Structure 1
Amino acid sequence: MTDIGYTLSSEEFGPNALVQQAERAEEVGFDFVSSSDHYHPWVSAQGNAPFVWSVLGGVAEATEDIDVGVGVNCPIMRIHPAVVAHAAATAGAMLDGRFFFGVGTGERLNEHVTGEHWPPHSVRLEMLEEAVAVIRKLWEGGQTSHYGKHYTVENARLFTLPDELPPIVVSAFGEKTATAAGEIGDGFWCVGPQGDLLDAYENAGGSSPSYCQLHACHADSEEEAVETVHEVWPNSGLPGELASQLPTPRHFEQATQMVSEEDIREGDIITTPDPDEHIDSIQQAIDAGYDRVYTHQIGDDQQALLDLYEEEILPSFE
């Protein structure tokens, strides 16, 4: 059975709006929500970037049954993994078995803000592996000291822990990281139904859950949707590793001048108003092996997608 979820887009909405969207997503019948974790939006038109751990506290209070997660946090630079372990443990205690914890190697846009050197991906992956080990050790509940290559922890103990520890879901955009995810993670996270990466994760020993995020802009017409995506989410059209290397929204705005509306139209974002496009995209992710598929609605009109899923999409997967 595949779970269907909804994205809390912290780049586009403030904290109170995100809490309200989570509450509405539960009413609609989504199985889970996942909030992004950014210090900056990609472009200024998105307009927001609230602190995800504060938002999760509000979501925990406003909802009752829906699963809630971070997709994904980078625990290697901006916040020390000992502090991330503390934050995630508290979120897990508040959500009482409903919390899942996504982690990844991060983007320069968010992680360079403390002035530390932005290392290459191979080093960041090494840092992530050590950070996850630190988090797991602290979650055991005893007094912990750690003197590693990248992190030091001295005499730390988490006194507030959830009854059920959250799964650590590792994000990957390449085979090397997908393999590492299978070795250190409790789940896998990816954008788009990339079956080859899921295979690499599973071949390295990884098991469910596996998360696949889809992007959409549901509007009255495809033209309106394409215009909205081009204005609000042009970063989707950037190639390769560029999105992980640019340092500020201003740099993204410069780079996305190369992205045209035709690029958006021909890309992977669902921009047609046809409900079958959403159903087919979700089914493609299911066929690729993913068991938790969630959609990001781009733009101000979140209600359009919530209504569509309540009336037509979710009933198709019951």
Structure 2
Amino acid sequence: MRRMISAYKDNGGRGKVCLQVHLSHAADEQRALELAHDQWRTNVFAPPFCWDTDTAEAFDQAAEHVPPDGIHQAVRVSSDPAQHAEWLNSYAELGFDAIYLHHVGREQSEFIDVFGEKVLPQLEVSQP
């Protein structure tokens, strides 16, 4: 990611450099993994498969073969707010202007509460 940011800026890029991070958080590690696997396993495929697959049904079929541990390549999964803060701080240190947090689970209230109370205060970022 550092090389990508440098290439962009070194070649005249003037817009903001933004990152969207897919996250899964729950009260325990197993539940966080289950949420991510249930909701996001269709989004782990690299090109050209993800470009050439033309129906939701085909993605669902392929996702049947994604084991729970296979989700870690696409989603940051943890029950530990400090771990999430560590990951997010490492992305901020790379030079992103904005980092957008996407909780992949359906229940957003707990995510918002936990991240608002325990994760965001640990981040070394500046307010716009």
- TMscore range, shorter length: 0.7 to 0.9
Equivalent residues of 2:34, 2:68 under 8 A apart: yes
SS at structure 2 position matched to 1:223: helix
Q: Which residue identity does 2:84 align to in structure 1?
A: H
Q: State the Cα distance separating 1:300 from its structure 2 match.
A: 1.4
SS at structure 1 position matched to 2:8: helix
Residue 304 of structure 1 pairs with residue 125 of structure 2: no
2:28 alignment partner, one of 192, 202, 221: 221
After superposition, where does 1:165-314 map in structure 2 within 5 Å?
194-264=1-71, 266-314=72-120
Q: State the Cα distance separating 1:257 from its structure 2 match.
A: 2.0
State the distance in 1 between where 2:113 and 2:46 align.
32
Q: Which residue identity does 2:114 align to in structure 1?
A: L
Equivalent residues of 2:44, 2:74 under 8 A apart: no
Structure 2 runs not aligned, ≥5 long: none
Percent identity (aligned): 26
Q: State the Cα distance separating 1:236 from its structure 2 match.
A: 3.0
Equivalent residues of 1:270, 1:277 under 8 A apart: no
- Aligned-residue Cα RMSD (Å) equals 1.7
Aligned to 1:133: none
Equivalent residues of 1:208, 1:291 under 8 A apart: no
Q: State the Cα distance separating 1:246 from its structure 2 match.
A: 1.2
Q: Which residue identity does 2:46 align to in structure 1?
A: P
Equivalent residues of 2:78, 2:84 under 8 A apart: no
Q: Which residue identity does 2:52 align to in structure 1?
A: Q
State the distance in 1 between where 2:120 and 2:61 align.
38
Equivalent residues of 1:211, 1:290 under 8 A apart: yes
SS at structure 1 position matched to 2:76: coil
Structure with larger Rg: 1
Alignment deviations for residues 131-161 of structure 1 (CA, whole Å, 9 cap, x no partner): xxxxxxxxxxxxxxxxxxxxxxxxxxxxxxx
Q: Which residue identity does 2:110 align to in structure 1?
A: A
Equivalent residues of 1:238, 1:259 under 8 A apart: no
Q: State the Cα distance separating 1:208 from its structure 2 match.
A: 4.1
State the distance in 2 between where 1:195 and 1:300 align.
31
Length, aligned pairs only:
124
After superposition, where does 1:73-92 map in structure 2 within 5 Å?
none
Q: Which residue identity does 1:223 align to in structure 2?
A: Q
Larger strand fraction of residues:
1
Normalised TM-score (structure 2): 0.86
Normalised TM-score (structure 1): 0.37
Between the two structures, name the one with larger relative contact order (CA 8 Å, sep ≥ 6). Answer: 2
State the distance in 1 between where 2:74 and 2:50 align.
16
Structure 1 runs not aligned, ≥5 long: 1-193
Aligned to 2:122: 316
